[in-house]
Amino acid sequence: MTTKVMAFGEALIDFLSNGQTGLDGLESFAKYPGGAPANVAVAVARLGGDSHFAGQVGDDSFGHFLKESLEHYGVKTDSMLMTKEAKTALAFVSLDATGERSFEFYRNPSADMLFRREDFKSEWFYAPRGVFHTCSNTLTDSDISSATMAGIVMAKAAGWIVSIDVNLRINLWPNHQVDTDRVIAWMRQGDVIKASLEELEVLSSEPLALIQELLKGGVSLFVLTDGAQPVRYFTASGQGEIATPKVDVKDTTAAGDAFVGGLLYQLAERGGDRESLSHFSQDELKACIRFAVACGAQAVTKPGAYPSLPTLAEANARLELF
């Protein structure tokens, strides 16, 4: 029996820079499908998982492009809504010489922010095994935040694993002020959490203490990334780290989402419900995270979001190199 993985949140257009800067350079932008949860959905589908995207786009040319793109890469869009009330969100992504990104978002409001708690359908959660994935971009407004929490409640009632990628985009928050209480309350509902050290430092003056607090509160696995530094993972019974391989970086746009997709694919393949997750050994968790690291490493070797996400063969080939 396959495990359903449903990523909830924003699908948007990434306009990716050609890298030209300065007054003498003409910067141009190419259109790519993107949005962190949509990227994760594609990552799972590319690996061969039963992947679904839940969220809302505009009933416009960009929204239809996103739906077609998701379906092209194998993501099921039966839980993807369209509205004429707002346009599809856009993000302009500039890259520096090392492939690191800066964002300008055109949102507020966009179609994804108009998804409401009543838009979730109970039949979306009928699968006996599943993973429900969210990220913090659906917390920046009280209504979409309420919808996110409603989805988590439904996933937990179904026995699904709740996945959280902190993925803070500070410039999406009103006045660039993150509601840390709201974000931490959301994190407490997760079974699996992925965050960067930089993100945790925004949320708490004692990041490692926050991790321990969350583990004591019921989180099963916390994965902490820190750029090219080893990936650290924490559980109630222990912790460890996985080295990251050196690669020729072309574009980091989908690195984190490829990592998360790889991790969720592994969790789905090895059980796919909260009960099975609670019995994972340290060796099993380490294998899942090592696979996720390989997926992230492979993704940065290509430009764009969806096109850079690895197939299972590509992920396994990268895994063999470190």
pLDDT tens digits, residue range 242-259? 999 888 888 787 899 999
Q: Which residues pair with 194 in a beta bridge?
A: 165, 223
Q: What's the structural domain count of the chain?
A: 1
Better pLDDT: 249 or 199: 199
Picking from 207, 194, 272, the residue whose alpha carbon sits closest to that of residue 233 is 194
Over range 193-200, report the average pLDDT: 97
Over range 2-11, report the average pLDDT: 96
How far apart CA 158 and CA 62 sit, in angstroms, is 33
Picking from 189, 193, 144, the residue whose alpha carbon sits closest to that of residue 164 is 193
Q: What is the pLDDT of residue 98?
A: 66
Confidence of residue 100 (pLDDT cuts 50, 70, 90): low
Residue 209 belongs to some domain of the structure: yes
Residue 26 belongs to some domain of the structure: no
Q: Is the pLDDT of residue 22 over 60?
A: no
Residue 240 belongs to some domain of the structure: yes
Q: What is the pLDDT of residue 92?
A: 87
Q: Is the pLDDT of residue 1 over 70?
A: no
Enclosing domain of residue 126 = 4-10+35-86+108-319
Residue 258 belongs to some domain of the structure: yes
- pLDDT tens-digit readout, 52-97: 999 999 999 999 999 999 999 999 999 999 999 999 999 887 766 6
Over range 107-121, report the average pLDDT: 95
Residue 202 belongs to some domain of the structure: yes
Over range 170-195, report the average pLDDT: 96
CATH number of the domain at 233, please.
3.40.1190.20
Residue 216 belongs to some domain of the structure: yes
Residue 244 belongs to some domain of the structure: yes
Residue 102 belongs to some domain of the structure: no
Determine the angle formed by the axes of helices 255-269 and 36-46, rounding to 10 degrees. 50
Which residues have C-beta within 8 Å of that of residue 173, sequence separation ≥ 6? 140, 179
Q: How far is CA 303 from the centre of its chain?
A: 18
